[in-house]
Amino acid sequence: MAALSEVSSNRSFGGYQKVFSHDSKELRCKMKFAVYLPPQVEDGKLPVIYWLSGLECTEQNFIMKSGVQRYASEHGIIIVAPDTSPRGCNIPGEDDSYDFGTGAGFYLDAIKEPWSENYRMFSYITKELPEVINSNFATVEESQSIMGHSMGGHGALICVLKNPGKYRSVSTFSAICNPSIGAWGQKAFSGYLGPAESASWADWDATELVKKYSGPPLEILLDQGKADPRLETDLFPENFVNACKESEIPVILHMRDGYDHSYYYIASFIEEHIKHHAKYLKA
């Protein structure tokens, strides 16, 4: 297991908001992740929520803007927020646009060269990172949940649907629910997976995956702002909800009047989401 290097540590709501770096075997680069350790960690092992951020983000956005530390401290839950992509891999074109390459790993395992060597965020999030967290912090290994925003909402959904039973619960804000038909998703899938005719697209599209989900019972919580400018071009939560209903999988969709795609929106409802996850993590 690669050694961790502490990048920063700040006291917050009785616990510590920390950032670490380590050498990732999956991504073949140095990665950073943030971890909030609530005060209850001094008394024993705690459950974990993984947060996946959206396009252009790093490990910093969620921990600085959401206010999650207050609620993680109240409920005694560790929060882990990784970076959104490999960085500094020297791949031609990786820094050319905000929605592909650096900061836009899309939480899948790329199969198209030259991205396939480094851009393996799905395996990093579902395999390597939990091993790092469970080896270095006081966690209850079988008690973990996942949530995310936008591209990270897409990531949270596919992590759950492709790993039945691995997570206790899942929730999203402004998730890219049907990436095969949206501008953001089509650009990412074309670059990382190949042409649209490829069967691999359906393997990474939450709306397609939920149609064949056959794992343990799962209640999915989606949160969406009605004033989100990307709602009709990239997100498509209704498509996912309809697929859930056809597959008889419980799903909740909160449509929030006047809220957009920003962290002002996330901060407004993050407490509800932490309470939702706490219900399952401590059952």
List the catalytic residues: 150, 228, 261
Which amino acid, residue 181? I
* 173, β-bridge pairs: 149, 223
Instruction: Provide the edge-to-edge strand list for the sheet that holds 15-24.
Output: 5-12, 15-24, 29-37, 78-82, 46-52, 139-149, 170-173, 220-225, 251-256
Structure tokens at 173: 């804000």
Query: ∠ CA(224), CA(226), CA(230), 5° rounding?
Result: 80
Phi, psi of 252 (to 5 degrees): -120, 130
Give Cα separations from 246 to 114, 208, 232, 281 (angstroms). Answer: 38, 12, 22, 27
Beta strands in the chain, from DSSP E residues, in sequence order: 5-12, 15-24, 29-37, 46-52, 78-82, 139-149, 170-173, 220-225, 251-256
Q: Confirm if 230 and 265 have CB atoms less than 8 A apart.
A: no
Indicate the SS3 state at residue 2.
Answer: coil
